[in-house]
Structure 1
Amino acid sequence: MNFSYSEKVVELQKQVISFMEEFVYPNEKKYEEQLNDQETRWSAIPPIMEELKAKAKERGLWNLFLPESEYGAGLTNLEYAPLCEIMGRSLLAPEVFNCAAPDTGNMEVLVRYGSHEQKEKWLKPLLAGEIRSCFSMTEPDVASADATNIEASIIRDGNEYVINGRKWWSSGAGDPRCKIAIVMGKSDYNAPKYEQQSMILVPLDTPGVTIERVLPVFGYDHAPHGHAEITFKDVRVPAENMLLGEGRGFEIAQGRLGPGRIHHCMRLIGAAERALEELCKRVQKREAFGKPISSQGVVREWIADSRIEIEQARLLTLKAAYMMDTVGNKQAKTEIAMIKVIAPNMALKVIDRAIQAFGAAGVSEDTPLAAQWAGARTLRIADGPDEVHRAQLARLELKKYDVNLQTV
């Protein structure tokens, strides 16, 4: 495995870093100020965001996540990894480059599985950054880590499908630009276990779609993006809104979640790098008990451990990216599961140390640390909790030794 970056990637790294330093970091506070100045945090987008997106698009730093050169930059997962990491240093950056979840995953679904008409209607405006989207899978009444539990119904009625159910944590549904949801539900309750589910495109302005509330995360409402609880009551959409075909929902989910999971991990590495950078700057500036904080042995241990943990997580993430590129997502499932456990836990530890170094300032909104910590903590749950990934890893490991796993 060769993880060295090509000339193309090195040049893109320079461009993304330069853009971050010139435009993104200086405007983080401005974004918050504009958001808070609005009459309601959910009705409009801070103007600075659209300004930054226009600048990124002008410079060709746009849709870098998408491997298909027809639509994106034509980068492999391994090539995109260092760029995604840089974006992860700021909570604003992914959207600035049109590389934000859940749009990235939804665009990949449409590229891989969408019909020509679906691509024309929904993929093109998403690629242009003109609209946003959400992914409605998780339900409040069932353990959605096991997607076979999902109870929302998608039932054929002539030339339409009728959707009924309640979803939550549909990230992005609070955004006034969010126009389309990919909804996962059951289209055949009597089919084999993994053929009961389907995915369908549901415009959010369809009668019967109601956004009940937007859920805060550790007190952060993440406006104007948000994480919505949505009810679907007798929602009717044309039959051509079905993705790939009835009973293909699990197949689509597997194709979507692999890249989504690794992108989260890449961004977490960037968040951890920025936290370590802030920690190092802070402890050299502050004195306690007559000497710089950086001279304390425990602080130096924090710094050393953080560097070790970041490098470990990065190398494993690069290996997962390499395998996704060379043998496919299915064969890389072990590595994807490992990084999904490692990266959030690593980021939480590093960010927590930085918060400790900043003292009370670390838990305020004066630094990005508290918000980054909250985001990292959710990723021990999102796209499958740690326990599910660990269980899968254990099963795969035991199978190497011919252990009878029928009852596991």
Structure 2
Amino acid sequence: MDFAYSPRTQELQAKLLRFMDDYIYPAEARYTAEIEANTKAGKRWTPLETIEELKVKARAQGLWNLFLPPSADGSVREAEYGPGLSNQEYAPLAEIMGRVMWSSEVFNCSAPDTGNMETIIRYGTAEHKKRWAEPLLDGKIRSAFAMTEPAVASSDATNIEARIERQGDEYVINGRKWWISGAGDPRCAIYIFMGKTDPTAPRHSQQSMILVPADTKGITVIRPLPVFGYDDAPHGHCEILFENVRVPVSNVLLGEGRGFEIAQGRLGPGRIHHCMRLIGLAERALELMCKRASSRVAFGRTVAEQGVTRERIAEARCRIEQARLLTLKSAWMMDVAGNKTAKAEIAMIKVVAPSMACQVIDWAMQVHGGGGMSDDFPLAYFYAMARTLRYADGPDEVHRNAIAKLELGRYAAA
């Protein structure tokens, strides 16, 4: 593995860093103020002008759809939408975006849209790509992924109870989903829905995925679900009820019983994208920690001169570097050998990166004292998001179990 970034990545890194300095960091205060103003005006679930204006600038500079890999089949003219970077090339760019939680949307690189775009491009028909993938790549609409359910332990996706039943030329969909990120956005136009088409089939052939337009009759967004008190409007993480929702048979992806196959193809890149961004978030937290520690005095010395603070700063740097290297290895393996071959590395980084970020942010909060828990600094929000990612795309326990099974399998023959 070559640890040097490609010339193309270095060029995009420089452009992205300038864009962050020129536009993103200066817009953080405006972003917060706009959310507060929308809340007071009763317009909480309204797209933010701050982000929409920055999108125009980002696209004009070629900083658009950087996540989109070159493996797309060309039927959506992907060359028109992004530079076609490999996972390894995209990793350091996602890290830069991760330094500000909302900035990925500015570059049309935010979840769950990235995973949904790749899913539709990889597994959808030409009609699906034209109707849904292209508007998503253009930034004209947004999307959501409806998988998790409140009634069952969805960490074992075979538990999913939602039904997709065929009736003539239509599928009828019934189920209750929750933690559906992006469903609160009024621009959310399409759901990728996972449910059972045949409960009697073999365990991993019961589930299917199907495209469900958000304006279809029978869909009710029940409520947004706050994360540690943050509702992430206008994005939102919602609970949704699907009651006798009817869509054409042609909306199914790949065919009945292919849900798990699609899930593995979708979640691999999605998981590593989260990890890339978390490294950037941890870097920002460490930066804030060092600046705060150097400017505050306690017991006659700056906090930075206290032994425990220096130990934590050193440990934070070690953990960030370790996580970055494992992320880059995972990205490289996905590029050269495919997502399936890289499944152990993807699982490992999904365990390592969120835990690392949580710990680094926690130490940064401690250095900030009471301010670290307030909204005067971004650390409390950072922590809420990092802690959530120990669940999203599979909880730690599931990934650890998968890693252990693979490791034990290496010695099974002996």
TM range (shorter): over 0.9
Q: Is the partner of 1:380 in helix, strand or coil?
A: coil
Tell me the residue number matched to 1:54.
56
Distance 2:267 2:315 in 1: 30
1:256 corresponds to 2:266: yes
Aligned residue for 2:387? Answer: 377
CA offset digits 1:275-311 (Å, max 9, x no partner): 0011111111111122211111111001100000000
Establish whether residue 24 from structure 1 lines up as the match of residue 34 from structure 2: no
Q: Report the residue type matching 2:33 in the other structure.
A: E
Aligned with 2:118 (options 108, 113, 117) = 108
Give the C-alpha shift of residue 31 in structure 1. 1.1
Shift, 1:41, TM fit: 4.2
1:337 aligns with 2:347: yes
1:233 Cα shift? 0.3
1:270 pairs with 2:280? yes
Give the alignment of 1:152-167 within 5 angstroms: 152-167=162-177
Aligned with 1:306: secondary structure?
A: helix
What SS does the corresponding residue of 2:161 show, helix, strand or coil?
A: coil
Contact kept, 8 Å, 2:62 with 2:82, in 1: the verdict is no
CA deviation profile, 1:213-248 (whole Å, cap 9, x unmatched): 110000001000000100000000111111111111
Displacement after TM superposition at 1:192 (Å): 1.2
Q: TM-score, normalised by structure 2?
A: 0.96
- Give the aligned CA root-mean-square deviation in angstroms: 1.1
The 8 Å contact of residues 285 and 361 in structure 2, kept in 1 or not, is answered as yes
TM-score by length of 1: 0.97
3-state DSSP class of the match of 2:412? coil
Secondary structure of the corresponding residue to residue 135 of structure 1 = strand
How many angstroms does 1:43 deviate by?
3.6
Structure 1 residue 6 displacement after superposition: 1.1
Aligned residue in 1 for 2:128: 118
Letter of the structure 2 residue corresponding to residue 352 of structure 1: D
| Residue 44 in structure 1 maps to residue 54 in structure 2 | no
Unaligned runs of 5+ in 2: 71-77
Match of 1:300 among 310, 332, 336: 310
Query: Which is worse superposed, 307-316 or 289-298?
Result: 289-298
Distance 1:356 1:260 in 2: 31
- Structure 1 position 367 matched with structure 2 position 377: yes
Match of 2:100 among 86, 90, 94: 90
- Cα 1:173–1:219 change in 2 (3 A) is same
Residue 12 of structure 1 corresponds to which residue in structure 2? Answer: 12
Superposed CA offset, 1:308-358 (max 9, x none):
000000001100001000111001011001000000000001011111111
* Aligned 8 A contact 1:183 1:199 in 2: yes
Give the distance between the partners of 2:338 and 2:390, measured in 1 at CA. 24
Structure-1 separation of matches of 2:289 and 2:49: 31
Q: Given residue 69 of structure 2, which amino acid in structure 1 is its aligned partner? A: P
Q: How many residues align?
A: 404
Matched residues in 2 for 1:162 and 1:36: separation?
40
Structure 2 CA distance for aligned equivalents of residues 150 and 349 of structure 1? 32
Percent of matched pairs sharing the same residue: 63
Q: Structure 1 regions of 5+ residues with no counterpart? A: none
Q: Given that residues 106 and 133 in structure 1 are in contact (C-alpha distance below 8 angstroms), is that contact kept between their aligned partners in structure 2? A: yes
Q: Please state how far the C-alpha of 1:120 moved relative to its aligned partner.
A: 0.9
Q: Contact 1:28–1:92 (CA<8 Å) still a contact in 2?
A: no
Asked if the contact 2:275–2:350 (Cα under 8 Å) also holds between the matched residues in 1, the reply is yes
Residue in 2 aligned with 1:34?
A: 34
Please give the secondary structure, in 2, of the residue aligned with 1:179. Answer: strand
Counterpart check, 1:391 vs 2:401: yes
1:186 is displaced (CA, Å) by 0.5
Q: Which amino acid aligns with 1:12?
A: L
